[in-house]
């Protein structure tokens, strides 16, 4: 199971990095989203992968799942959703203002 999770994290990071290096704003937004998914999976996996373990301490139970990474991932999901919304609005405003959605500026596009 750890091999599949590590492969998924690596694949999400690689695809996200590739999309971040694109010249348009929509692939950049998708790349940031995929990298945030990879970070969320990494934080979630740092708490340990235990099947059928309770998330809180109970009497008589010796193994439990750490709830802190789960809370951090939940907070990171909310933050990444807000970040994606803000970046999307900024990209839409730039597209409406400039008439294109290129992230880089060519020599002829200078103000």
- State how many domains the chain has: 1
The verdict on residue 110 lying in a domain is: no
3-state secondary structure at position 105: coil
Q: Does 57 reside within a domain?
A: no
Which tens digits make up the pLDDT trace of 89-111? Answer: 988 988 888 887 877 766 555 55
Q: Is residue 56 part of a domain?
A: no
Would 15 be classed as within a structural domain?
yes
Say if 77 falls within a structural domain. yes
Mean per-residue pLDDT for 49-54? 71
Q: What is the pLDDT of residue 59?
A: 76
Q: What whole-number distance in Å separates Cα of residue 90 and Cα of residue 99?
A: 13
Band of the pLDDT at 34, cuts 50, 70, 90? very high
DSSP structure string for 12-34? HHHHHHHHHTSSBHHHHHHHHHH
Query: Would you say residue 92 lies in a domain?
Result: yes
Residue 111 lies in a domain: no
Q: Which residue has the higher pLDDT, 24 or 31?
A: 31
Q: Do the domain assignments include residue 54?
A: no
Average pLDDT over residues 17-22: 93
Q: What CATH number does residue 14 fall under?
A: 1.10.287.3510
Q: Which domain holds residue 83?
A: 2-49+65-104
């Amino acid at each position: 199971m750890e091999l599949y999770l590590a492969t998924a994290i690596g694949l999400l990071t690689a695809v996200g990095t590739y999309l971040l290096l694109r010249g348009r704003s929509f692939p950049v937004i998708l790349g940031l989203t995929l990298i945030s998914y990879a970070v969320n999976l990494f934080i979630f996996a740092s708490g340990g992968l235990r099947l059928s373990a309770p998330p809180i301490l109970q009497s008589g139970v010796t193994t439990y799942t750490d709830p802190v990474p789960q809370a951090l991932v939940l907070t990171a999901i909310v933050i990444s959703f807000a970040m994606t919304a803000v970046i999307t609005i900024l990209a839409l405003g730039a597209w409406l203002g400039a008439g294109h959605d290129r992230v880089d500026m060519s020599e002829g596009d200078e103000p």
